[in-house]
Structure 1
Amino acid sequence: MKHVIALDVGGTGMKAALAGADGTLLYEARLPTGRDRGPEAVVETILGFATELRDIGRERFGGTALAAGVAVPGIVDEAAGTAVYAANLGWRDVPLRALLSERLGGVPVALGHDVRTGGLAEGRIGAGRDADRFLFVPLGTGIAGAIGIDGRIEAGAHGSAGEIGHIVVRPGGPACGCGQRGCLETLASAAAVGRDWAAACGDPQA
């Protein structure tokens, strides 16, 4: 059966799927990102997870995936296939598209920004499909936005359009992984809200 590999890398966990040519979900899996082990280990985990998905596709559906799509956080040069920088993962200038294609035996790989790819999906099949303009803002380990304009997602001149997470909104506030203090994601991301709630109720596991 014809299928593709889809892999979403987050600051805390990775979500993956095998999807049929018509978009049917054939298989899904999750794995911790393990960012505490360092950026090199995270890259190797991504490569290993993608290889596992390739092998599952071969075993269950009788063939190699037609292509793979991988979404990662931070600043992404989609044309070059490079993960330029991610504060939550600590990597810089990782040629992830080339590394994945090599590991997958030459399977074509598309590398995209996690929020922009999510915004693209929202614009095509979700709440933004009838809107000429929309802003997609998911909350996770970090926070960013995808700007939808006339059926496309605006990447910006330097590939960082929508990177609102590292705008300083509280000078002198909590330290951020990017080196600044008081960034939006230190206050309003899902991870930040979870930390504040745990502190407020006195239960670190809350």
Structure 2
Amino acid sequence: MTRYSTPAAERCVLAVDVGGTTMKGSVVGEDGRIRHSLVVPSQTATDTEPIDAVRALCLRLRDDALALGATPVGVGVVTPGIVDEAAGVVRYASNIRFRDVPLRTLVGQDLGLPAAIGHDARAAGLAEAVAGAGRGLDNFLLLPLGTGIAATVVLHGEPVTGASWSAGEVGHTPVHPGGEPCSCGQRGCLEVYASAGGMARRYARLGGTSGLDSQAIAEATGTDPLARSVWDTATHALGTALTTLTLTLDPACIILGGGLAEAGAQLLDPVRDTLRASLAWRSAPPVLTSTFGALAAQVGAAILARRAAGLPVPQGWGAPLPESVGLR
């Protein structure tokens, strides 16, 4: 990731995106540019408590910002799972072993800064609404495709949380009732077939090379029949799920994000074909790729941090520089 020089005494915010495998942290300047970034393991497979790893990363980012001559004024941390943003509590996140963690209080006290806690997919949707593919739209859907799949429903420019902070958990929508088991306890979930992690696990389980990730599977579709089958099943499952979401929510557009979306036309074309073929009486909404890609949740976390600090977030704040587009 590009690093920029930091003007003396510039105010900045700290942004952290906690994932099941890695945590990504950034120091973000007043203009929305990333000044410094870190990627560290989530450490969920060690004796270290995940919450301790998150707190340590936030402290490290604060120290790095000060060393760069920037003054942190707020921090935003986003996680997967069921997140109560209003209370600042991660109610449940299985991939990072969080249950009823008062993350806003802990991080805010550690740093002595205003803190905001958010859901990673909803934060990504906020970033797309402010400065990405959803900018200027009254409503749209964002689906980051990563270790799992969640959807962000954006209405009037703001993500919808739902009655129990669980809106958008479409990864556990059954697309093959009675199908393959999911870690959630159900069978046939979308995540099993169409998430990056699910595709890799499914490919290995069906006899493919263990350790091959979704990018490698995509690259092998021309020569490996199993890779082709896994990929085709994934794109069809995703297109089917988008059909249900379209008929339910009538979005102005659907934005696909996360690492899997970087496959471009190889993913988008069959997903669009399935969506169009499944809608008999209406046209399909445009299916686009995220402006921010894998950085979307971090940008959203920075927006939440600025709001917590009482700073304005104008339209276009954090938009990628033209030369950085496509380099995510």
Q: Same fold (TM over 0.5)?
A: yes
- The aligned residue for residue 189 of structure 2 is 183
Going from structure 1 to structure 2, the CA distance change for 1:175 and 1:37 (only over 3 Å counts) comes to farther
1: distance between equivalents of 2:165 and 2:60? 30
After TM superposition, give the deviation of residue 199 of structure 1 in Å.
Answer: 4.8
Q: 2:57 aligns with which of 49, 60, 82?
A: 49
The TM-score normalised by the length of structure 1 is: 0.91
1:97-140 CA-to-partner distances (Å, cap 9, x unmatched) read: 11111111x21110000000000101111111132221000111
% same residue: 45
After TM superposition, give the deviation of residue 170 of structure 1 in Å.
Answer: 3.3
- The aligned residue for residue 10 of structure 1 is 19
1: distance between equivalents of 2:146 and 2:154? 20
Going from structure 1 to structure 2, the CA distance change for 1:186 and 1:88 (only over 3 Å counts) comes to farther
Does residue 98 (structure 1) correspond to residue 108 (structure 2)? The answer is no
Aligned partners of 2:50 and 2:97 also within 8 Å: no
Q: Which has the higher strand share?
A: 1
2: distance between equivalents of 1:153 and 1:141? 21
- Any unmatched runs of 5+ in structure 2? 1-9, 213-328
Q: Aligned with 1:157: secondary structure?
A: coil
Does residue 169 (structure 1) correspond to residue 175 (structure 2)? The answer is yes
1:130-187 CA-to-partner distances (Å, cap 9, x unmatched) read: 3222100011111100001121111112211111122333344444333333332122
Higher RCO by CA contacts (8 Å cutoff, separation 6 or greater) = 2
- The aligned residue for residue 125 of structure 1 is 131
Q: Aligned with 1:36: secondary structure?
A: coil
Q: 1:74 aligns with which of 78, 81, 95?
A: 81
Q: 1:194 aligns with which of 196, 200, 218?
A: 200
* Cα RMSD (Å): 1.8
| AA of the residue aligned to 2:163 | A
- Any unmatched runs of 5+ in structure 1? none
Q: Which has the higher helix share?
A: 2
- The aligned residue for residue 38 of structure 2 is 29
Aligned partners of 1:70 and 1:111 also within 8 Å: yes
Q: 1:155 aligns with which of 145, 161, 173?
A: 161
Aligned partners of 1:88 and 1:142 also within 8 Å: no
Aligned partners of 1:9 and 1:70 also within 8 Å: yes
Aligned partners of 1:88 and 1:177 also within 8 Å: no
Going from structure 1 to structure 2, the CA distance change for 1:32 and 1:67 (only over 3 Å counts) comes to same
The TM-score normalised by the length of structure 2 is: 0.58
Aligned partners of 2:200 and 2:211 also within 8 Å: no
After TM superposition, give the deviation of residue 35 of structure 1 in Å.
Answer: 2.0
The 10-residue stretch of structure 1 (28-37 or 194-203) with the greater mean CA deviation from structure 2: 194-203
Q: Aligned with 1:58: secondary structure?
A: helix
After TM superposition, give the deviation of residue 197 of structure 1 in Å.
Answer: 3.5
Q: Aligned with 1:102: secondary structure?
A: helix
